């Protein structure tokens, strides 16, 4: 097993990795910008290395500096967390060439699944349902021919994209050319790659994802998560299992996800993401080749430490989890962000008062503390509130209780938004899709 792991990340995920490593007897190295010098992941790691000024491009995205930190600290493996460079195949390749173990998938698999066009083709070959769509669209004429086959509405997506950037919905031919141009510009600006493709647009989909683990020979699908509560394609609430699936659909979805994971020789934890239409048909959307923010709800219902499994698999150990694990009860995660609850504008600042909820079935993954200065340079995530109970109604009741105990003062948060969501009849009844927040905002 590894002796020392460098965590190329910050915030709550860095703390999450530190905790798993500590239980495994592995020493940890925290990297930090000058803005994060007093962060908890820096305080709790065995060693720390300052990697630059606050802008991420000069610190957490600076590959030469990260490699230097691994070298000077004597680390033998690098854990990328999520975000930043976690799905950067070049970084994974450099880590390996410099003699460190990458705690993640192989770079060629990251490249294959990181490009949405090649991922679609790979999954289709493996027998996974995909929405009618195209390869990379080269010209307006190609797009016009494609929509004759696909039909309107269509959605334009960046092949290297994520988070809604480079994504445009087109209702008719008159807007097709202009939206293609806009999508290409956004894709180039956001990802350095202007390639886009078309896909049939589902108006009111549910977002369902499957947690997978593989050792290159065998894979398992460790249940699904419902991630339909989103704002501008950014997830705010996740839960497991999904109330949208009956036993037959769940069995089929997990079978397909497991088969797809084995087909690419996958060697770590990952997530296959699907759209579920109103007729409960599911279609592959993308694969995330890393640990997910919302891995916590799967951990709660299956009793499995996914970060520990990720580290074990990176050490070339075989999968030991049985294929027939069943979920226990229901778990829900809320992302608590430093942002205005109405406008969702970021709200950095110093936390002047803090009370974290607790009690049976309540988990809070966070890096904040009283007098912590929330920086303006990074993602606004402050904490993840996770509850686990015997069923969804009990989990909702526990979540209301935990939210009533959660206090953050000194910066605005979306706690009030979550309280309003828990009073929404459609959400409580499980009638949700990716546009529910928009309908709530419209009244």
The CATH number for 90's domain is 3.40.50.20
Tell whether 166 and 213 lie within a shared domain: no
Q: Which residue spans within 257-402 are E strands per DSSP? A: 269-276, 282-288, 330-337, 349-350, 353-355, 362-366, 373-374, 381-389
The CATH number for 311's domain is 3.30.470.20
Confidence of residue 79 (pLDDT cuts 50, 70, 90): very high
Q: What's residue 442's pLDDT? A: 86
Residue 108 placed within a domain: no
Q: What's residue 191's pLDDT? A: 87
Tell whether 333 and 218 lie within a shared domain: yes
> Coil, strand or helix: which one is 225?
strand
| Interatomic CA distance for residues 364 and 358, integer angstroms | 8
Output b/e per residue, 427-437; b: 16+ Cβ within 10 A.
Answer: beeeebbbebb
Nearest to 205 by CA among 425, 435, 429: 435
Tell whether 427 and 376 lie within a shared domain: yes
Phi and psi torsions of 154, nearest 5° = -125, 165
State if pTM tops 0.85: yes
Work out whether the CA dihedral 275, 253, 307, 106 comes out positive or negative. Answer: negative
Catalytic residue among 290, 312, 363, 398: 290
Work out whether the CA dihedral 225, 231, 232, 234 comes out positive or negative. Answer: negative
Tell whether 260 and 359 lie within a shared domain: yes
Tell whether 219 and 345 lie within a shared domain: yes
The CATH number for 154's domain is 3.30.1490.20
Mean pLDDT of 410-430: 96
**Percent share of the chain, pLDDT over 90:** 94
- Give the least confident one: 150-164, 178-192, 349-363, 375-389: 150-164
CB atoms within 10 A of CB 148: 8
Tell whether 273 and 250 lie within a shared domain: yes
Q: Is the pLDDT of residue 289 over 90?
A: yes
Contact 165, 140 (CB under 8 A): no
Tell whether 232 and 337 lie within a shared domain: yes
The last residue of a domain, from among 200, 228, 248 = 200
> Coil, strand or helix: which one is 395?
helix
| Interatomic CA distance for residues 94 and 102, integer angstroms | 9
Residue 409 placed within a domain: yes
Residue 400 placed within a domain: yes
The last residue of a domain, from among 151, 175, 200 = 200
Count structural domains, the chain.
3
CB atoms within 10 A of CB 300: 24
Q: Is the pLDDT of residue 343 over 90?
A: no
Mean pLDDT of 264-281: 96
Residue showing tokens 């050792």: 215
Give the distance, in angstroms, between the CA of residue 264 and the centroid of all CA atoms in the same chain: 20
Annotated catalytic residue 290: yes
Q: What is the pLDDT of residues 305-335, one digit of tens each?
A: 999 999 999 999 999 999 889 999 999 999 9
Domain assignment of residue 14, given as a range: 4-103
Q: Is the pLDDT of residue 137 over 80?
A: yes
Work out whether the CA dihedral 113, 117, 118, 121 comes out positive or negative. Answer: positive
Give the H or E element holding residue 396. Answer: helix 392-405
- Give the least confident one: 159-168, 339-348, 359-368: 159-168
Residue showing tokens 């935990």: 402
């Amino acid at each position: 097993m590894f002796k020392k792991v460098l965590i190329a990340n910050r915030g709550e995920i860095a703390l999450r990795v530190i905790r798993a490593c500590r239980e495994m007897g592995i020493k940890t190295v925290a990297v930090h910008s000058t803005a994060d010098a007093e962060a908890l992941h820096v305080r709790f790691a065995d060693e720390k290395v300052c990697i630059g000024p606050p802008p991420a491009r000069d610190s957490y995205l600076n590959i030469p500096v990260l490699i230097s930190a691994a070298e000077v600290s004597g680390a033998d493996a690098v854990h990328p967390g999520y975000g930043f460079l976690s799905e950067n195949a070049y970084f994974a390749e450099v880590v390996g060439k410099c003699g460190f173990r990458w705690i993640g998938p192989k770079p060629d698999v990251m490249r294959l699944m990181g490009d949405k066009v090649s991922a679609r083709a790979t999954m289709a070959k493996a027998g996974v349902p995909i929405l009618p769509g195209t390869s990379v669209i080269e010209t307006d004429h190609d797009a016009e021919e494609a929509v004759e086959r696909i039909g309107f509405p269509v959605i334009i997506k960046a092949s290297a994209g994520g988070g809604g950037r480079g994504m445009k919905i087109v209702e008719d031919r008159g807007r097709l050319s202009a939206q293609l141009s806009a999508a290409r510009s956004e894709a180039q600006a956001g990802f350095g790659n202007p390639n886009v493709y078309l896909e049939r647009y589902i108006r009111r989909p549910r977002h369902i994802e499957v947690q997978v683990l593989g050792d290159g020979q065998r894979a398992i699908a460790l249940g699904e998560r419902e991630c339909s509560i989103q704002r501008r394609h950014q997830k705010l609430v996740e839960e497991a299992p999904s109330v949208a699936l009956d036993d037959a659909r769940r069995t089929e979805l997990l079978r397909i996800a497991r088969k797809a994971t084995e087909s690419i020789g996958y060697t770590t934890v990952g997530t296959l993401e699907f759209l579920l239409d109103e007729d409960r048909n599911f279609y592959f959307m993308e694969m995330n080749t890393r640990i997910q923010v919302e891995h916590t709800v799967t951990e709660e219902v299956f009793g499995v430490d996914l970060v520990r499994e990720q580290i074990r698999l990176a050490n070339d150990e075989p999968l030991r989890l049985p294929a027939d694990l069943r979920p226990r009860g229901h778990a829900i995660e809320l992302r608590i962000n430093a942002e205005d609850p109405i406008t969702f504008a970021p709200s950095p600042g110093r936390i002047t008062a803090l009370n974290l909820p607790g009690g049976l079935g309540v988990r809070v993954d966070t890096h904040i503390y009283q007098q912590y200065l929330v920086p303006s340079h990074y993602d606004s995530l402050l904490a993840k509130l996770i509850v686990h109970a015997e069923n969804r109604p009990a989990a909702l009741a526990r979540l209301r209780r935990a939210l009533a105990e959660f206090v953050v003062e000194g910066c605005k948060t979306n706690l009030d938004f979550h309280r309003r969501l828990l009073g929404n009849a459609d959400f409580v009844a499980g009638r949700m899709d990716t546009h529910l927040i928009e309908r709530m905002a419209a009244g």
